[in-house]
Amino acid sequence: MAASPRPAALRALRLTAFRAFYRLPLRWRRRLVRMGTAHYIVGAVTIVRAADGRSPGRILLLRQPPGPGWSLPGGLLNRGERPVVGAARELAEETGIRVDPADLRPGVPNAIVHSSGRWVDMVFEASVPADQPFTVDEAEVHEAAWHPLDALPRLTGPTARLLAHYGIGPLAGRPEDD
């Protein structure tokens, strides 16, 4: 049985397209690739645990505009900023808690891809004294408070999904519920 001429024609067309693409200047090739690929925003988030020995443990949550739910300290990385530095910066900006980037531990998993929102969170963990006072940035944060792991308040959807990867919150054990 003879092969269909169509696949051969498609192969020839594909080969011609790739040859033309690789003749373009590198700058143009990069632009074309960027236009045709998914774009993700990268942020850094910190799960801050109270170092007070209480059982169950407590984590620091923020109530931020515009929604009614609680979330974790974090934000977008600056261009060229290392994720651990961005996580420490965002924690200090939003809560006044200063942690040396070297004292932040990478979460396991360290990167959470939110495919529906097209962003990636680099997750870090820290333990700080529970009696450390908060200085919230009132433009970004309405309130910061410690919450027991077994009695968390209403979380934002992305926060609940992120914490599920660490066995925390209402979606624990179901992190894929995007």
Q: What CATH number did the domain enclosing 158 receive?
A: 3.90.79.10
Q: Name, in order, each residue with C-beta under 8 angstroms of 148's C-beta and a sequence gap of 6 or more.
A: 54, 56, 57, 58
Is 51 in the same domain as 31?
no
pLDDT of residue 177: 53
Assess whether pLDDT exceeds 90 at residue 85.
yes
- The answer to whether residue 172 sits within a structural domain is no
d(CA 119, CA 73): 16
**Residue 122 belongs to a domain:** yes
Whole-number pLDDT of residue 70: 96
Q: Are 123 and 84 in contact (CB under 8 A)?
A: no
pLDDT of residue 73: 96
75 and 55 together in one domain: yes
Are residues 24 and 83 part of one domain?
Answer: no
Task: Determine the Cα angle at 52 with ends 112 and 70, to 5°.
Answer: 40
pLDDT score, position 1: 53
Percent of the chain with pLDDT strictly greater than 70: 93
Q: Are residues 165 and 176 in contact, defined by beta-carbon separation less than 8 angstroms?
A: no
Supply the pLDDT for residue 38: 67
- Examine residue 169 and state whether it is found in any structural domain, yes or no: no
Instruction: Pinpoint the alpha helices (H) of 24-151.
Output: 26-36, 83-95
Same domain? 106 vs 156: yes
- Does the pTM surpass 0.75? The reply is yes
In a domain, 175, yes or no: no
For the cut 80, the answer to whether the pLDDT of residue 100 exceeds it is yes
Structural domain harbouring 138: 41-164
Question: Quick one: pLDDT at residue 37?
Answer: 72
- Tell me the pairing of strands 58-63 and 143-148: antiparallel
pLDDT level of residue 17 (50, 70, 90 thresholds): confident
Residue 109: alpha-carbon gap to chain centroid: 11
- When pLDDT is averaged across residues 92-121 and rounded to a whole number, the result is 90
pLDDT of residue 2: 55
pLDDT of residue 45: 96
Per-residue pLDDT, 9: 83
Is 86 among the domain residues?
yes
pLDDT in tens, 110-164: 988 876 767 899 999 999 998 888 888 788 888 999 999 999 999 998 899 999 9
Residues 32 and 58 grouped into a single domain: no
Give the C-alpha separation, 149 to 174, whole Å: 17
29 and 115 both lie in a single domain: no
Is the domain of 13 the same as that of 90?
no
Could you tell me if 120 and 63 lie in one domain? yes
